[in-house]
Structures are given as structure tokens and as C-alpha cells.
A and B are shown apart, each in its own frame.
Chain A
Amino acid sequence: MSDPLLQTENLAKRFGGIVATDDVTLAIAPGELHAIIGPNGAGKTTLIAQLSGQLTPDAGRIRFAGHDISALPVHRRSHLGLARSFQITSLFLDLSVLDNVALAVQARAGHSFHFWRNARRERDLREPARAALARVGLEARANLPASALSHGEHRQLELAMALAGNPRMLLLDEPMAGLGPEESARMVAMLRELKKELTILLVEHDMEAVFALADRITVLVYGRVIASGVPADIRANAQVRDAYLGEAEHG
């Protein structure tokens, strides 16, 4: 295995008495699609928030592409090529679909104290934005206001915004949440395409999608890693079945 692209060492985060992340050590190789699963409240979103920089860990380190990023703010991490999407769709609903993605491009293009030139005609912003929309299959919707899109399309747009800065790695927080079966299938197909070019960390409840996509899976329970390995091992792991999978399959 080559050097990991993203690595955490003994990461820990607590909120008052609740341990949200408990001594988590992960290594994700370049090109890998690594899924994080676990029951509700296992600390998956908290983990993603620490990786992307919205939350600061209480202890432990995070390394990305050879840099120690444990203390870097969000925008510096995204400059290094680490992009995240949000679990709860959080878009600019009154701006156009293309504007949404162009803003994500602009965020990585240095400061925005440019007062005069028409930003909607700047190819440096619009071309990468259109390319990102094309990758998620939304190019035909580019000029609609974001509020006009369906929920499934919002998830695609969310993904396009994460892709806009040409990241090396995506942190995806439940991209299938709230999608119908058809939309989910489309999202799985899209992620399968993306994993050819990108390293992806995927937090997801949809087990079918996870086992279809993941190269490796880590199982979190109460903030702690109880198992990590290839899908077949995870499926066979008795502890995982007890803690999580069995319960999910019955329910």
C-alpha cells in the first residue's frame, strides 16, 4: 500500500460528557473509496467536520497529502485539495445553479476584492463551474435558480460544488440522504465514475450503496472504530453484525 493520502492518528473530540470521536486512527490510500458506517450518533458527521476543519479535534492529528492539517482553517484545507459536501443541503437558493458552483470555484481563486469585471463572464470561473456541473449531469439546469431544482438535483449540485475546485479528495456526508431509489442509483453510478479519479471518504446510511462502492469500510460505534477492512470482512465480522449490521438488516 502506498502512503496514505489522508490519515488520522488518535483523533478525539468530546462535547461535554459525550465522546463523539474516541481515539480514531484511519489511513486512506490514494484512489480508495473509504466508507464510514455506524448507527446514528456514532460520530460520523463529527468526524467529517474535523477532517474538513469545521471542528477542531481535542486531541490527535490529521495529515493530508504529507501536511499536518490538524490546525488549518477550512479554506486552507480546501486549497490543499480536500473538499466536503454537506449532509443537509446548504445551497444559495436564490442564485442560479451555475452561480452556486462558480462561487465554489471563486472561493479557491484567492481573495474576491475584484469590484469591476463582470464575474459572470470570467471564463476562469465559469468554465470550471460548467465542467463540474457536466460531471454530475446538471449542465442543462445551469441557468435555473437553485430553488427550482428537485431534492435529488440539489444533492447533485452539492456534489458539483465540492468538485468545483478540482479537489484530490472528497468528503461526502450522506450524499444519498432523502433520495428515491432511482435517484440513489444515479448517485451510485456517479460516485463510481468519480472514484476512478478521486479519493473519497463516504459517510452513508444506505448499506446497499456502501457495499457496492466501497474499497474499504470503517465501522464507528459511539465514536470508536470497532472494525475496519474490505467489505467482505466487514460483512463477516461478528462484532459488526451485533452492533450494527444485524440491527439494520432487521429494521
Chain B
Amino acid sequence: MSGPLTLRNIVAAALLVALALLPVYSQFSHNVFLLTLFTRIVILAMAAVSLNLILGFGGMMSFGHAVYLGIGGYAVGILAFEGVRSGFVQWPAALLASALFALVIGALSLRTRGVYFIMITLAFAQMAYYVIAGLARYGGDDGLTIQQRSQFVAPLNLTDKTQFYYVCLALLFASLYLVWRLVNSRFGLVVQGARSNDTRMRAIGFPTYRYKLVCFVIAGTLCGLAGALLANHTDFVSPAMMYWTRSGDLIIMVVLGGMGSVIGPVFGAVALLVLEEVLSGITEYWQIILGPLLLLVVLFARGGIDGLLGKVRS
């Protein structure tokens, strides 16, 4: 997010402007489906941005990040089911619940490294998945329908598709700004130093565990907010929100878009979900096309879309 008119910055700015103008287009073309699709894209982009904070900047390969989508979503769903409809209660509850979850998961899993870290984050997420699937009162496996979206004060009405889209988009922009500030702060440099050479960081006097744990909790909390949005978007929550394949989708978005670039995951989320939409319109077996595409990115474009755009200039 620095520097002047590079191709990458132009594309990033164009994408953000296009996202901001999308409801206008959808209004004129009477294409409601487009708005619904992009609301989903914006929400999942936010989740990917939060994952990138730990994966791209912190080098923490969490394979259970979708668990916070589920925790945030179920915080909204369960409160709505129990008659608490105020967003002023639901959303902070979603943030708090996912923060606490991230604290527990992070505190334990950050003691491990490499493959063990991947496995333990996955294990925690799957554990949460089965616990939620076992909650008979809240629909168990079948999930839970949300009768009414989160209630805020007068002019703000989340049932209005356009309003809801703009709320999601504003929160995505806020997340990008937050991550951008974080990664350039002293805190962010410590986290990136730990990704680069944890041993040396400890040798020069940084207790890296604490910094990584705080980073892990911030990322989880942010993803929990995305979960609260997703629950409102679909008017429904189910354990599938936090299934491990969803965590995999988020990783794909980050890798495809560009790890360690603030805007990268937004590129990744748009590209993946639009491709998925287009390809599944062409053939039922769209994954056969998507798979090799991803392989090519991993093999030949390590910096993802962001890296490709950056290279074109030089």
C-alpha cells in the first residue's frame, strides 16, 4: 500500500472503487444476484485478510481459521434464537467469543512449530465443529435459521441488501486499514521478524511468543466479525461454516492473492469466488479447471496475483 502509480496500485485502487460502485451497477442492471455474490465475496475477503495477518505476515500456518467464522456466526445465531436481536449485543459477543477462542487455541498451538502447528490448529477447529454439530438445541448438524438480522438503530437496516453490502464493505476497508497500520507498527515488525528468524528475535531480546499470540488473537477476532456478517448474510448458520475445507478456501485465497501483501487476500477472494461462479456455470466439474490453475499459481507465481502485478512494472 505504498508507492505511486504502479500497476499493482492501480489495479488495487480500481478493484476497491469497483467494489464501492457495485451496488449502483446492480441497481441499474436489476442484477440482484450480483450484489448477493459480492456481499459474500466481501465478507470472505475480510476473513482472508485476517488470516493473512498471521499466515502472510506472521508465518503462522493456521489450518483452522474458519473456526472463527463459525464462532462469530453462531454467537449471532444463538443470541438471535434466544431472542436477543440487538446488533450492539450480538456483534460484540461475536468478537469476544472469537477472541477468547483464539486466545485458547493460540496459547496452546503457538508452543508448537511447523507441521505440528498446522495439525493442532486443524484439530481445534474440527473439535469446535463437532461440538457445534452436537448442539441439538441449536439445530445440530442441520444448522440454525436466523429469523431476523441483527438490529441496529433507525436508519441502519441490515435487511436492505444495499445497506448491508455497504456495511460489509466499510468493515472490509476498515480491516485493511487496521492490518496496514499493524504490520508497519513496532508490533508488526516484531511479528515479521519472528516469521523471518524466530531464534534470532529471541536472541536479541524479544519474547516472541507473546507477540505472536496477540497477533493470533487479533486475526481470530477480525475473522469472528466476518462470521457475524456471514450469518447475517445467509440468515443461517451451520457447522459447515467452520468445516476444514472452508479453512482451506481461506488459505487458497491468501496464497492466490499474495501472502504478506495487505491487499493480496482481497485479490485472492475476488478471483477465487468469481472463478468458482463462472466455472461452475460452464461445467459441473469446475474444480477440474480450478485445481490446475491454483497449481500454476503456486508453482510459477509465488507472490500470487499481487506478486504478478508487482512484477509487470519492472
> Could you tell me which A residues sit within 8 Å of B by CB distance?
54, 74-75, 78-79, 86, 90-95, 99, 102-104, 106-108, 112-120, 122, 125, 161
| A114 and B184 contact, Cβ closer than 8 Å, known pairs A54-B203, A74-B203, A94-B196 | no
Pairs across A and B, CB under 8 Å, 29 listed: A54-B203, A74-B203, A74-B204, A74-B205, A78-B205, A86-B203, A90-B200, A90-B203, A91-B200, A92-B192, A92-B200, A93-B197, A94-B196, A95-B192, A95-B196, A103-B193, A103-B204, A106-B186, A106-B189, A107-B204, A107-B205, A112-B186, A112-B211, A113-B186, A113-B187, A114-B187, A115-B181, A117-B186, A119-B189
| A116 and B185 contact, Cβ closer than 8 Å, known pairs A90-B203, A103-B190 | yes
> Could you tell me which B residues sit within 8 Å of A by CB distance?
181-182, 184-190, 192-193, 196-197, 199-206, 211, 214
Can you add 20 more A-B contacts, CB < 8 Å, to A103-B204, A116-B181?
A78-B205, A86-B203, A90-B200, A91-B197, A92-B196, A95-B189, A107-B205, A112-B206, A112-B211, A113-B214, A114-B185, A115-B182, A115-B185, A116-B185, A118-B181, A119-B184, A119-B185, A119-B189, A120-B189, A125-B186
Decide if A119 touches B186 in the complex (CB within 8 Å): yes
Decide if A108 touches B200 in the complex (CB within 8 Å): no
- Nearest CB of chain B from residue A158's CB, rounded to whole Å: 10
* Residue of B182, B200, B201, B214 with most partner-chain A CB within 10 A: B200
Contact of B186 among A54, A104, A114 (CB under 8 A): A114
* Residue of A95, A112, A117, A120 with most partner-chain B CB within 10 A: A112
With a CB–CB cut-off of 8 A, which chain A residues contact B193?
92, 95, 103
By beta carbon, the residue of chain A nearest B205 is A75
Distance of A107 Cα from B181 Cα, bound (Å): 20
With a CB–CB cut-off of 8 A, which chain B residues contact A118?
181, 184-185
* Residue of A79, A104, A113, A122 with most partner-chain B CB within 10 A: A113
By beta carbon, the residue of chain A nearest B203 is A74
- Nearest CB of chain B from residue A46's CB, rounded to whole Å: 15
Contact of B189 among A54, A99, A113, A116 (CB under 8 A): A99
* Residue of B187, B192, B199, B201 with most partner-chain A CB within 10 A: B187
With a CB–CB cut-off of 8 A, which chain A residues contact B185?
114-119
Decide if B197 touches A102 in the complex (CB within 8 Å): no
With a CB–CB cut-off of 8 A, which chain A residues contact B196?
92-95
Decide if A78 touches B204 in the complex (CB within 8 Å): yes
With a CB–CB cut-off of 8 A, which chain A residues contact B184?
118-120
With a CB–CB cut-off of 8 A, which chain A residues contact B201?
103
With a CB–CB cut-off of 8 A, which chain B residues contact A75?
204-206
By beta carbon, the residue of chain A nearest B190 is A112
With a CB–CB cut-off of 8 A, which chain B residues contact A92?
192-193, 196-197, 200
- Nearest CB of chain A from residue B156's CB, rounded to whole Å: 27
With a CB–CB cut-off of 8 A, which chain A residues contact B190?
103, 106, 112
With a CB–CB cut-off of 8 A, which chain A residues contact B192?
92, 95
